Amino acid sequence: MMEVDLHIHSKYSRDSFLSPRSIVRTAKSKGLSAIAVTDHDTVVGALETAKISREDLVVIPGIEVRTNIGDLVSLFVEEEVASRDFYEVVDETREQNGLVVLPHPLRGHGKISSEVMHSIDVVEVLNGRSLYRENTGARELALSYGKPMISGSDAHFNFEIGCVRTILSDVSSSMEELRKSIAKDDRSLVGSESPFIVRALSFGAEMVKRTASSLRS
């Protein structure tokens, strides 16, 4: 059995200060077997986190891309995803043998078409930063299309890591076995939503980063 957090942001996201080393340390202290680092529009944080992690914590490389229809998470990708068009991002992910995840579908996506649902592999139905009703609606959406379901903390701060978890049964720690297991629908989802204040904290972090960047310019 593996307990996994499939949605974490590092300092390479515009609204997080988490260092790769801090992510690894916190994930291990909370008993996670694997994590996915999915920074906004870049895979750099995931690759750096993977470099410093050891065998007792698997780091799945990923990226959360802002597309023309909303966010899309590509898991098991080690190269940058260049496009910002939804269907092109799907194609680029598949070219890397990655998994296409629809994260928090009732937050920031608008109406999701059948064509979109048929294009993705997995739906994130328990997101640590989404409201209960948003997660409930995401679960109903996944069930209506028969899509596998996962959970992820969407952590931008240490205390969020592992607040929700995907529990995979009968799976080894190899990347290929993890990819196959996540693409199937045999798992448990545990945890609960974080207080709404965490979104405000992320907004504050983004403003601090923008200000610092402006001062350096």
pLDDT of residue 206: 53
CA distance to 19, 73, 80, 134, 210, per residue, from 127 (Å): 21, 13, 24, 9, 26
Mean residue pLDDT across the chain: 91
Cβ-based neighbour number of residue 161 at 10 Å: 23
Count CA atoms within 13 Å of residue 59 on its CB side. 27
Which of 51-55, 81-85, 128-132 has the largest mean confidence?
Answer: 81-85
| Distance (Å, whole) CA 126 – CA 113 | 20
Where are the domains positioned within the chain? 2-212
Could you give the 3-state DSSP secondary structure of residue 189? strand
pLDDT above 80 (res 78): yes
pLDDT above 80 (res 116): yes
pTM, full prediction: 0.90
pLDDT tier for residue 212 given thresholds of 50, 70 and 90 = low
Q: Which CATH architecture has domain 2-212?
A: Alpha-Beta Barrel (3.20)
| Distance (Å, whole) CA 10 – CA 3 | 20
pLDDT above 90 (res 214): no
